[in-house]
Amino acid sequence: MESYRPEQGTPDWERYGVRIVRAGELDPNTPQTPGMSRAAAITAAAAGAQKLWAGTVVVAPGAKTGAHHHGELETVLYIVKGRARLRWGERLEFVGEAGPGDFIFVPPWVPHQELNARPDEPVEAVIVRSGQEPIVVNLDIESPETPGAARWIDPGHPA
């Protein structure tokens, strides 16, 4: 979809105005990290966005993702449901938790890992990034989580 540009003259607000992306229109064909499912909602193709990317992310009950970062992009997560635990740092040595209504900000280049702190419900969040490039750099950093505290969900760590 195109976006309005002032040099085009009088805007056609029907064509260039608000876009609504319905829940059933989210696109799962976006870079993934083991242990979570991302789906894109606001992209250049779906909504004409030029500077933002937004979508959803779900982390299964008791699961943890692989360590990763998003390059130069800033990331914001808004927790809708569940209890998210984040680890970050060169050895994932720092930890914090967030619940429904909480926001999480992940600066550019920060190695991090999302974990579901609860064994009985998924973490569901809205995710917004500062650019359209789907940058996900998966890292080979072992989690300091104690065995059994959260299970890996990826091909390298079978259930």
Sheet holding 75-81, edge to edge: 36-42, 53-59, 123-129, 75-81, 103-106
Query: In this predicted structure, what is the pLDDT of residue 151?
Result: 47
The mean predicted confidence, pLDDT, of the chain is 85
Helix H or strand E segment including 15: helix 13-16
Look at the pTM and tell me if it is higher than 0.85: no
Q: pLDDT tens for residues 39-50?
A: 899 988 888 888
22-152: CATH superfamily: Jelly Rolls (2.60.120.10)
Query: In this predicted structure, what is the pLDDT of residue 131?
Result: 93
Distance CA 61, CA 54 (A): 23
Neighbours of 130 (CB within 10 A): 15
Query: In this predicted structure, what is the pLDDT of residue 4?
Result: 65
Residue ranges of domains in the chain: 22-152
The phi and psi torsions of 74 (rounded to 5 degrees) equal -85, 145
Residues of the chain with pLDDT under 70: 1-6, 146-159
